[in-house]
Amino acid sequence: MRSLRELLTADAFYDDVFSIDFEEEKKRGIRGVIFDIDNTLVPHGRPSDEKTRGFFASLKDIGLVYCLISNNDDQRVRPFAEDVGAYYVCKAGKPKKSGMKKALAEMEVSEPEALFVGDQLFTDILGAKRCHIRCLQVRPVDESTDPPFVAFKRMLEKLIMRS
């Protein structure tokens, strides 16, 4: 049985999604990548931008499939996903397993072939770890855009990460 510490510890930490070597991940057998949206890809609540659209085009060029997963509703997630050409799961209920499983099914990949990228311990990392999906944590794009409940969770995350 895995400890709480193991469940809340990403497999690697990066400054941002753009610094991850996805070609290397593909060589390791990764076929599909699951991404959180808010403060992983763009500041909370913001639409995709040119840099983000180019980033997803580069993933497609190297042959990876990708899915966006969010606890937000369809009104937030669908337009973003359509703009970057991604599968998506909204109202995922992270860290529940059901949203992650749905993302895997959308991409038609198994757990060992998947990679998760997110910025929060209690939703993103815990959700991926519970499903035995390798996960990478990135620094939040802009914490000042976090809603109050997320800001509170980040304070707790920082305490855990220090220990």
The range of the structural domain enclosing residue 14 comes to 4-162
For the beta carbon of residue 115, count every other beta carbon within 10 angstroms: 25
Q: Please classify residue 21 by burial: count the beta carbons closer than 10 Å to its beta carbon, then call 0-12 exposed, 13-18 middle and 19+ buried.
A: exposed
**Rg for the chain, CA atoms, rounded:** 14
pLDDT < 70 stretches in the chain = 4, 143, 146-147, 151-152, 154-155, 158, 160-163
Q: What is the dihedral of CA 93, 117, 44, 95, to 10 degrees?
A: 20
Question: Can you tell me which residue has the tokens 């990949």?
Answer: 109
Give the chain's domain count.
1
**For residue 106, what is the domain's CATH number?**
3.40.50.1000
Predicted structure pTM score: 0.89
